[in-house]
A and B are shown apart, each in its own frame.
Chain A
Amino acid sequence: MGDDIMNYNGGVALAMKGKECVAIACDKRYGVQNRTIATNFTKIFEYGPHCYVAFCGLATDVQTVAERLKFRTNLYELREQRKLKPNVLYNMLTNLLYEKRFGPYFIFALVIGLDPKTGETFVYDSDNIGAISDNVNLATVGTASEYIFGLGELLFKPDMTPDELFEATSQSLLNGFDRDSASGWGAVVYVIEKDKVTIRELKARQD
């Protein structure tokens, strides 16, 4: 694995859009280069009833940025007396990352959200210094992202139902990280719809 800082702990996350639903999935590995230390390290964090963020990269920064972002979103909710919207959360995150432009956090981020009234879906991704992306159909981050992108592009269809979305997301994730030795060891998929969030754990190869 060499001495690449982004591959030190490994990990991968994927987000996909459907019709009035979004899915976000990540693997559960926590390792140090070759060695797997734990298989319960999920990289997805909740910031609101329909806002989720996934961070991939150096594990210490995954935890730190998640907590620092939570601090800022808590203050926002106290001041504004309302819950965050996904695009506000995304802008807060990119701002947080750009503050450290010349000494950055070693994580790449995915932000997803859903507007429960209109059913509008949001999937954004960001590099480690807060580059802003468009609202895309599909995004992946992490060590196996190239392998998962290929499968994701193939399996994605516009306007998928929640079940089709779950299938497409899980299959891309599972088969993609089979080609990467730094991610895997189980996966978890969140499917967010207007009225509920379904969290499913996938049985994956433990290798």
Chain B
Amino acid sequence: MDSLNPPAYDAEEDLLRHQKQYSQMDKLIIPIEMRQQPVSTGTTIVAVEYDGGVILGADTRTSAGSFVVNRFTDKLTPLTEHIYCLRSGSAADTQAISQIVQYQLEFLSAEMNEPPLVKIAANCVRRMIYQYRDDFVAGMIVAGWDKKLGGQVYSCPLGGLLVRQSVSLGGSGSTYIWGFLDNNFKPNMTKQECLDLVLKAITLAITRDGSSGGCVRLAVIDAKGVQRIDVLGNELPKVYDL
């Protein structure tokens, strides 16, 4: 048992570190202070279905190793007007996937002459992750509203799985709030109850996880469209002072 390298606590971070290891030659040339850790959105992302739509939430920290590259990142990326995705894992990989899927969905909606279903958007994301499963480090949550099934949340984690869930969590900070969400989620909550729940959950994860931090970005997606809410650091709910 190697005490300096404890067993993996976060699959995404660990995989990223292994894949992006410098080659033997680079180790000789590049001095240790200049070797950069890969940029990851080591993060907390939450998506929850409520009565009438979905609520998405994420923290705003992007880190490279322990350096905070961006303190106010936007991890809620639009795929279509009514469908958003939440990104966790390698920042480069997830940005590439969302751009490609955005294009695919735009093309699809031109062909079908109607907005694409959330299930279809989730499938496009899942297909990309599965196809390049050995290379990508991307865990994404696709959530939105469509006419057929209303608000839906689909989870597309690392290997290329696709599953619909009423509550979906992702990122390194999610481990700290599984219990909290298991305890406090009820189906068919009101919009305000759901917003408070997601905000509290992400605040709790930010307090404990080093790779999550900053503010909380929320989005409410329903029949009328998307409403973005940014909750800044001083407005976050109070958590017991450890």
Interfacial residues, chain A to chain B (CB-CB below 8 A): 1-3, 5, 7-8, 10, 31, 33-36, 38-40, 143, 178-182, 185, 205-207
Contact = CB atoms under 8 A, between A and B. Distances in A.
B17 A35 contact: no
B85 to A, nearest CB: 23
Contacts of A143: 66
A50 B10 CA distance: 44
A182 B66 contact: yes
9 contacts: A2-B65, A33-B210, A34-B9, A35-B9, A181-B211, A182-B66, A205-B213, A206-B239, A207-B214
B211 A34 contact: yes
A117 to B, nearest CB: 41
Contacts of A179: 67-68, 71
B206 interface: yes
Given A35-B210, A178-B71, A181-B213, A7 B66 contact: yes
Nearest to A32: B6
B213 A207 contact: yes
Contact of B68 (A3, A34, A181): A181
Nearest to A147: B67
Q: Which of B63, B66, B68, B209 has the most CB of A within 10 A?
A: B66
Q: Which of B5, B17, B63 has the most CB of A within 10 A?
A: B63
B242 interface: yes
Contacts of A5: 4
Contacts of A38: 242
B210 A1 contact: yes
DSSP class of A's interface residues: helix, strand, loop or mixed? Answer: loop
Given A34-B211, A35-B209, A206-B207, A180 B67 contact: yes
B210 A10 contact: yes
Given A34-B210, A180-B68, A182-B66, A39 B5 contact: no
Nearest to B173: A34
B208 interface: yes
Contacts of A178: 68, 71
Contacts of B211: 34, 181
Contacts of B209: 34-36
Contact of B210 (A3, A39, A181): A181
Given A34-B9, A206-B239, 5 more contacts: A1-B66, A3-B4, A180-B68, A181-B67, A182-B66
B187 interface: no
B62 to A, nearest CB: 10
Q: Which 10 A-B pairs have the closest CB atoms?
A: A207-B213, A181-B210, A34-B210, A39-B242, A207-B206, A182-B66, A179-B68, A206-B207, A1-B66, A3-B5
A143 B37 CA distance: 15
A99 B71 CA distance: 42
Nearest to B37: A2
A10 B239 contact: no
A14 B59 CA distance: 28
B98 interface: no
B65 A1 contact: yes
B95 to A, nearest CB: 20
Given A38-B242, A40-B242, A207 B207 contact: yes
B42 interface: yes
Interface in B18-67: 37, 42, 59, 61, 63, 65-67
B126 to A, nearest CB: 27
A147 to B, nearest CB: 8
Contact of B66 (A35, A180, A185, A207): A180
Given A2-B65, A3-B4, A207-B214, A34 B207 contact: no
B36 to A, nearest CB: 11
Given A180-B66, A180-B68, A36 B207 contact: yes
